[in-house]
């Protein structure tokens, strides 16, 4: 799921037209007639794949049950088909020539390596009378980072640019995390569908825009919608929707100013956030102790408390205090 997101971002950059989930292979990337089949293999013990391990059949005498046998067979093959084995560990020396960097073409492969694979896959039946050496000529190995967390960190960094274009400013780290989690959940759901799913570039773009709007409350057209999480939190306080929308707008403006703030301005906002948090801790403690009733009265006590927050030589508008509270 994590590396599928990387392929979706490549598609967003124009490299592919569609990305398929758990389709004819783990990931299927298409661009016009060109199809790249990706099979993802994860090793957790730090060992390395070799020609022997990728050609070793799970069932003796059945090369189609090997890693590379499954990659080459069981799917339609055309002149524009390509095959990719995606690993999380650097393979052994005998596979080094097959390695590529994401978005780059493979170089020449020693004939000895090709001959070794052909020999080990003897008996593999391929569609349309395709020869094994033809598949090997179109075979590559892509190595991504070792762990899911490292792959997600790459996705996290790559999301900054497209999200910035939607928002008109850089997203906050917390917003990026929430958007990444949302997209990851969408990919996981699509990958587990009974019928294989494929996303076009437009579908991924729409999914990205929806997640950005869900997390930040701002659409690509600049429209503002109440954040679901904020609405949900304000309902027990008895806050009407109209007021919640106004608070959302104030919150979004506050976030924009926070993103662009540097030096003393950033320090001021950080201090305000800390003081608001301290007030919330105090009111929450009183509520849990039964000194303040839950619901609207607890909310009113919080608003009254933040009204009295002051900072030396700095005037803080009440709207900023409410935005920081939101």
Q: What is the pLDDT of residue 127?
A: 79
Report pLDDT for 96.
92
pLDDT the model gives residue 110:
92
Residues shown for the chain: 326
- Among residues 243, 226, 239, the alpha carbon closest in space to that of 298 is found at 239
Helix (H) or strand (E) holding 129: none
The neighbouring-strand residues paired with 139 are 83
3-state secondary structure of 119: helix
Rounded to 5°, the CA angle 251-255-260 comes to: 150
Can you give the pLDDT of all 326 residues of the chain as single tens digits? 889 999 999 999 999 999 998 877 889 999 999 999 999 998 888 789 999 999 999 999 899 999 999 999 888 888 889 999 999 999 999 999 999 999 898 999 999 999 999 999 998 888 777 899 999 999 999 998 878 889 999 999 999 999 999 888 888 888 898 899 889 888 888 888 888 889 999 999 999 999 998 888 777 777 766 566 778 888 899 999 888 888 888 887 887 787 677 788 888 888 999 999 999 999 999 999 999 999 999 999 999 999 999 988 888 999 999 999 98
Strand partners, 200: 18
Place of tokens 């008895």: 238
Which residues are 81's β-sheet partners? Answer: 35
Q: Specify the DSSP element, H or E, that contains 141.
A: strand 139-143
Query: Could you tell me which of 193, 143, 105, 173 has the C-alpha nearest to residue 6?
Result: 143
pLDDT of res. 233: 84
In 3D space, the residue among 316, 285, 283 whose CA is nearest the CA of residue 300 turns out to be 283
CA distance 48 to 158: 28
CA distance 319 to 251: 9
What are the tokens at 306? Answer: 């933040």
> Residue 287: its pLDDT value, please?
93
Query: Cα(298)–Cα(205) distance, rounded to whole angstroms?
Result: 41
Location of structure tokens 């920081």: 324
Rounded CA gap, 279 and 275, in Å? 6
| Residue 94 C-beta-side C-alpha neighbours within 13 Å | 15
What φ, ψ does residue 293 adopt, rounded to 5°? -65, 155
| Number of neighbouring beta carbons within 10 Å of residue 266 | 14
A 10 A CB-CB count for 268 gives 15
According to the model, what pLDDT value does residue 252 have? Answer: 79
Read off the pTM.
0.69
């Amino acid at each position: 799921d994590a590396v599928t997101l990387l392929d979706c971002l490549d598609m967003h950059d124009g490299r592919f037209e569609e990305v398929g989930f758990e389709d004819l292979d783990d990931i299927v990337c298409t661009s016009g007639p060109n199809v790249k089949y990706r099979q993802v293999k994860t090793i957790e013990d730090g060992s390395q794949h070799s020609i022997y391990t990728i050609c070793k059949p799970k069932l003796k005498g059945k090369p189609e049950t090997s890693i590379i046998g499954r990659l080459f067979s069981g799917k339609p093959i055309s002149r524009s088909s390509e095959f990719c084995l995606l690993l999380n560990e650097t393979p052994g020396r005998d596979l080094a020539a097959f390695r590529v960097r994401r978005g780059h073409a493979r170089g020449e492969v020693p004939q000895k390596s090709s001959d070794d694979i052909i020999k080990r896959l003897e008996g593999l039946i391929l569609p349309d009378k395709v020869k094994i050496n033809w598949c090997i000529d179109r075979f590559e190995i892509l190595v991504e980072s070792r762990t899911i967390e490292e792959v997600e960190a790459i996705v996290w960094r790559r999301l900054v640019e497209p999200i910035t274009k939607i928002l008109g400013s850089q997203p906050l780290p917390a917003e990026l995390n929430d958007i990444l989690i949302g997209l990851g959940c969408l990919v996981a759901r699509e990958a587990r569908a009974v019928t294989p799913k494929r996303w076009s570039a437009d579908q991924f773009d729409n999914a990205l825009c929806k997640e950005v709007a869900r997390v930040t409350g701002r659409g690509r057209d600049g429209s503002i919608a109440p954040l679901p999480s904020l609405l949900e939190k304000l309902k027990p306080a008895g806050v009407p929707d109209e007021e919640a929308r106004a608070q959302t707008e104030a919150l979004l403006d506050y976030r924009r100013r926070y993103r662009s703030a540097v030096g003393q301005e950033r320090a001021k906002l950080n201090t305000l956030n800390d003081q608001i948090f301290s007030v919330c801790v105090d009111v929450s403690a009183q509520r849990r102790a039964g000194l303040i009733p839950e619901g609207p009265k607890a909310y009113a006590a919080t608003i009254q408390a933040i009204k009295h927050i002051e900072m030396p030589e700095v005037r803080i508008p009440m709207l900023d205090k409410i935005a920081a509270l939101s």
